[in-house]
Amino acid sequence: MHFSDEDVARILKLVDETTRDEIEVEWNGVVVRATRTGKGAVASASPPGGGENRGPEVPKSAIAQGCVAVTAPVMGTIYLKPEPGKPPFVSQGSLVAHDDTLCLIEVMKVFTAVKAGQGGVVEKIFVEDGRLVEFGQPVFAIRPQ
């Protein structure tokens, strides 16, 4: 089994087009594993000794002045919709009240509702639906009203 230049190019194209950060192709007993590093590759393990390798963090500067960050109270998978196919809890520009649910975080089938904690307008949503969020990671920016 050997690869032509074309095969390699095709695999690379596949990696480029996928939203995944890692792809594994197995055929005829040959496993090709391609990992995307660099920007946008938050879910992949970078090579050891990389120094700055903390998860998908939002720098403090990304939270606009006058806004308050709502951070993940636990680590888990984030769901921005109450269930698949339904509209999201909130979108950019939504007006939210103190006790409104903004998202759910799931840990092994146990869901935690994340409340706004203050009334205001959702200025920004930092994460994509279905991603792993880490403890303390900013998820929303809210402009209090």
Partner 1 sequence: MKPVRRVLVANRGEIAVRVISACHKLGIESVLAASEADLDALPARLAGRVICIGPAAAAQSYLLAPTIVHAALSAHCDAIHPGYGFLSENAVFAELCEKNGVTFIGPRPQTMHNLGDKLRARALAKQCGIPLLPGSSRVESAVQAEDLVRDIGYPVLLKASAGGGGRGMKVATDAISLRSGFETATAEALASFGDGTLFLERFVPRARHVEVQILGDGEGGIIHLGERDCSVQRRYQKVIEEAPAPALAAELVQKIRDAAVRLANAAGYRSAGTVEFLVDPETARYYFLEVNTRIQVEHPVTEMVTGIDIVGEQLRIASGTGLSQRQDGVRFSGHAIEMRINAESPAHGFRPSPGRIAAWRPPVGSHIRLDTHCHEGYLVPPYYDSLLAKLIVTGCDRPTAIENARQALANFVIEGVQTTLPFLERVLAEAAFHNAAHHTRWAEELLQQQDGVLA
Residue ranges in contact with partner 1 by CB under 8 A = 22, 43-51, 53-55, 74-77, 106-108, 110, 132, 134-137
Of 105 and 122, CB closest to partner 1? 105
Of 39 and 54, CB closest to partner 1? 54
CB of 128 to partner 1, least distance (A): 13
**Residue in 44, 41, 102 with CA at minimum distance from that of residue 68:** 102
* Structure-block tokens of residue 130: 């279905």
Question: Phi/psi at 117 (nearest 5 deg)?
Answer: 80, -10
CB of 135 to partner 1, least distance (A): 5
List the end-to-end C-alpha distance of the chain, in Å, as a whole number: 64
CB 20 within 8 A of CB 48: no
Of 38 and 87, CB closest to partner 1? 38
